[in-house]
Amino acid sequence: MSAFRTLDSADLKGKRVLVRVDLNLPMDGGKVTDATRIERILPTLNEISQKGGKVILLAHFGRPKNGPDEANSLRPVAAAVAQHLGKPVAFATDCIGPVAAEAVNKLKDGEFLLLENTRFHKGEEKNDPSLIDAMAALGDIYVNDAFSAAHRAHASTEGLAKKLPAYAGRTMQAEVEALSKALEIPVRPVAAVVGGAKVSTKLELLGNLTKKVDFLIIGGGMANTFLAAQGKKVGKSLCEHDLLDTAREILKTAAENKCRIVLPVDAVVAQEFRAHAPSHVVGVDHVGDADMILDAGPKSVAEVEKVLGEAKTLVWNGPFGAFELEPFDAATNAVAKFAARLTGEGKLLTVAGGGDTVAALNHAGVADKFTYVSTAGGAFLEWLEGKVLPGVEAIRA
Ligand code: 3PG
Ligand code: MG
């Protein structure tokens, strides 16, 4: 795996720099509700600006399928980026053509411009050469700082990198370095926590991890499917009864690869799926017909903590229980805090990402105490699946 060119080797002065960022932000009524992705790109934007580059941002928003529409416009996002930068950010209503060219021409060295949603052009998702040419005409250099969109082989994430001199931005660089320390060149033993509702969405991921990690800790609803595969009764719990054979296959592959699977030994059960529903703890051999498993129990947490005490590296994706409903966030909170403590003591390198994970760690109050928390959803999962990410490959030297 070759390294990629970073901003260290880019000659930016006076250059038009097309920077692919991920501004696919959670919004509510035109306001950004979580600005983490903006904060993460600030070092790259400031560095290019300070080195005298003209910073031209390319990004997608939502999944528009039929050309431009107001609901998916990046215009409100330009204001949010400007606010975080503390500097003006111009906006152009198209990412190619005369409108974009005129906005680019007006830029002085060190200034910022955001171009409208790349997905307003059908060619974006098709990685269409004519769209790539039209984008390339606006810049001299390409920088990709959008790891979280790197699983897409789109014009602005992949095609453009092959057309212009291409570099990794600082966030892309940090993300890829953190992830390879966690799985490609980890200090062993490596543990993975995989939680979440369904085995079916994480089959490839589980398959890949059984070959790469020493301990695979399974939590959340998907643990129930594994328990059922071992012949245990799971009552009314979330469980994919059609995937019991698949779960057994995964257990078998794990055994063949000397990967120890860690499943819950006890569970917090309730009869209703709601916050503060009356609940109690049972061993996993004693789940009643009317019971719903909503969290891992204290013995399971102790077992997981013991494993983390032995591990040197942890990769985390997905919560243990129904963490959005109190008190069924207890196991997730406890293990997250324990992992954060080991990280602080320098005993464990912790990398987390994907979907609900960041929300769960924020909820536990420890997201900033992990070694690295990815803002990527799908890209993080595909990386855990062992897939090549086209946007990362395209900027390798
Ligand atoms: C994300 O929000 O996960 C990325 O921006 C990718 O978005 P997409 O799943 O619509 O390609
Ligand atoms: Mg996504």
Q: Which pLDDT tens digit goes with each residue over 272-316?
A: 999 999 999 999 999 999 999 999 999 999 999 999 999 999 999
Average pLDDT of the residues in 105-118 = 98
Predicted pLDDT at 3: 80
**Is 65 a catalytic site residue?**
no
Reading the block at residue 270, the tokens are 């309730």
Distance CA 168, CA 183 (A): 20
**Chain centroid to CA 27: how far?**
18
Distance CA 241, CA 229 (A): 8
Residue 323 CB neighbour total at 10 angstroms: 26
% of the chain beyond a pLDDT of 70: 99
Q: Is the CB of 24 under 6 A from ligand 1?
A: yes
Give the residue, out of 38, 41, 60, with the most ligand 1 atoms within 8 A of its beta carbon, to mutate for a pocket test.
60
Q: Read off the pLDDT band of 356 (50, 70, 90).
A: confident
Query: Binding residue per annotation — 109?
Result: no
Q: Is the CB of 152 under 6 A from ligand 1?
A: yes
Written in H, E and C, the secondary structure of 281-311 is: EEECCCCCCCCEEEEECHHHHHHHHHHHHHC
Checking if the pLDDT of 359 tops 90, the result is no
**Chain centroid to CA 213: how far?**
19
Residue 252 CB neighbour total at 10 angstroms: 11
Checking if the pLDDT of 177 tops 70, the result is yes
How far apart are the CA of 132 and the centre of ligand 2, in A?
22
DSSP annotation of 108 reads P
**Is 53 a catalytic site residue?**
no
Domains 7-171 and 186-385 share a fold: yes
Name the CATH architecture for the domain at 186-385. Answer: 3-Layer(aba) Sandwich (3.40)
Q: Could you list which residues have their CB under 5 Å from ion ligand 2?
A: 377-378
**Is 355 a catalytic site residue?**
yes
Name the CATH architecture for the domain at 7-171. Answer: 3-Layer(aba) Sandwich (3.40)
What are the Cα distances from residue 282, in Å, to 234, 236, 293, 335, 392?
A: 11, 14, 9, 19, 46
Nearest-CA residue for ligand 1 atom 2 is 24
Where are the domains positioned within the chain?
7-171, 186-385
Predicted pLDDT at 31: 92
User: Directed axis angle between helix 330-344 and helix 356-364, to 10°?
Assistant: 80
pLDDT tens by residue, 39-77: 999 999 999 999 999 999 999 999 999 999 999 999 999
How far apart are the CA of 31 and the centre of ligand 1, in A?
19
Checking if the pLDDT of 1 tops 60, the result is no
% of the chain beyond a pLDDT of 90: 93
Distance CA 314, CA 207 (A): 17
Average pLDDT of the residues in 212-222 = 96
Q: Are 346 and 371 in contact (CB under 8 A)?
A: no
How far apart are the CA of 374 and the centre of ligand 2, in A?
13
0.85 exceeded by pTM: yes
Distance CA 370, CA 351 (A): 7
Q: Are 377 and 215 in contact (CB under 8 A)?
A: no
Nearest atom in ligand 1 to the alpha carbon of residue 62 is 10
Give the residue, out of 144, 152, 175, with the most ligand 1 atoms within 8 A of its beta carbon, to mutate for a pocket test.
152
* Mean pLDDT taken over the chain: 96
Which of 59-63, 77-81, 318-322 has the weakest average pLDDT? 318-322
Catalytic residue from among 15, 16, 20, 37: 37
Q: Is the CB of 118 under 6 A from ligand 1?
A: no
**Is 37 a catalytic site residue?**
yes
Average pLDDT of the residues in 102-110 = 98
Checking if the pLDDT of 397 tops 80, the result is no
Catalytic residue from among 52, 97, 355, 386: 355
Q: Read off the pLDDT band of 2 (50, 70, 90).
A: low
- Residue by residue, DSSP assigns 4-23 as B-BGGG---TT-EEEEE---
